Amino acid sequence: MAELKNRIDFVYIFDVQDGNPNGDPDAGNLPRVDAETGMGLVTDVCLKRKVRNYVQVAKAGQPGNDILVKSKELSGDEVFINGEIRKMYNEEFGLNLGVKDKAPTEKVKGGRDSMCKRFFDVRTFGAVLSTGANAGQVRGAVQMTFARSQDAVVAKEHTLTVCAARDEDKTYESQVGIQGRKATVPYALYVCHGFISANLARQTGFSEEDLKLFWEALRNMFDIDRSASRGLMSAQRLIVFNHTSELGNAPANKLFDLVKITRNTANPPRSFADYEVSIDTASLPSGVTVEELI
């Protein structure tokens, strides 16, 4: 595995059409918004979930690319993190830990390293493994911000009707007709910022090969995550700033400022064509290069 030796910052731009990209359980599952500005939000946890789901499907059964925080809807299995920690200790170190047992203190560092080797999402995003048998804590090499929409979003609520009855002991009329509501965003363009630390990558074992898989997931993850509620979600741009050093050659915020997104219509935006994305490459700091992966 090739070691990651330089810092990387990136801008990930995606959109949604007639869907709910990230429902808020504190607001009746309405699309998440910044209450003060009306800008739409998609949490980093939501995006990481989609990366995990992609890798879980694309690399199923491949050693080193298992996913610890699995989605039951994809695997069909119920996975318990403490059980996976205990399984690792028993297989890697020949222990016989029970449900309530703790690993010996001198084994914890080795357990942490083994969890990183086994699970793509642990070495990528990190994990709290100090529960159960205890394999410490991992701070991941890849960190992502909430994604924020370019313009304020207005959620549309749609009434849903049912035309088929379920229970024979109830009247047909009581089971059909208006049964609920569904909220969608007509259109929104979201921007997420990300950071990849070479120092943390060295600690977790996040490699150049893992980085390629991460980029692959960002390009393709929406295509294996379709649902009626999410509408049409698409990855539109992935702009990567590569530094020549481990610590980096410029502040991330200064690099992100080089990416300009402008709206080219006075009407409410309804497609990616209503925006223009440009990069001020002439102002790139010394020691930083930029590439567009989407």
181 or 271, greater pLDDT:
271
Q: What CA–CA distance (Å, rounded) separates 52 from 217?
A: 8
List, for residues 160-202, the tens digit of each pLDDT value. Answer: 777 777 888 888 787 777 667 788 999 999 999 999 999 999 9
Q: Give the pLDDT mean for 57-65.
A: 91
What pLDDT is recorded for position 108?
A: 95
Question: Do 197 and 141 touch, CB atoms closer than 8 A?
Answer: yes
Q: Give the pLDDT mean for 254-268.
A: 96
Q: What CA–CA distance (Å, rounded) separates 161 from 177?
A: 5
List, for residues 241-252, the tens digit of each pLDDT value. Answer: 999 999 999 999
Q: Give the pLDDT mean for 257-267.
A: 96
For the chain, give the percent of residues with pLDDT over 70.
99
Q: Which residues pair with 162 in a beta bridge?
A: 177
- Of 87, 88, 61, 92, nearest in space to 75 by CA: 61
What pLDDT is recorded for position 178?
A: 63
Mean of per-residue pLDDT scores for the chain? 93
pLDDT tops 80 at residue 259: yes
What pLDDT is recorded for position 27?
A: 87
Q: Domain residues of the chain, as ranges?
A: 1-43+146-155+185-294, 49-138
Q: What is the pTM of this model?
A: 0.92
List, for residues 78-92, the tens digit of each pLDDT value. Answer: 889 999 999 999 999
126's CB contacts (< 8 A; 6+ apart) are 137, 138, 139, 140, 204
For the chain, give the percent of residues with pLDDT over 90.
80
List, for residues 90-107, the tens digit of each pLDDT value. Answer: 999 999 999 999 999 999
What pLDDT is recorded for position 169?
A: 81
List, for residues 130-158, the tens digit of each pLDDT value. Answer: 999 999 999 999 999 999 999 999 988 88
pLDDT tops 90 at residue 253: yes
What pLDDT is recorded for position 157?
A: 82
What pLDDT is recorded for position 163?
A: 78
List, for residues 230-239, the tens digit of each pLDDT value. Answer: 999 999 999 9
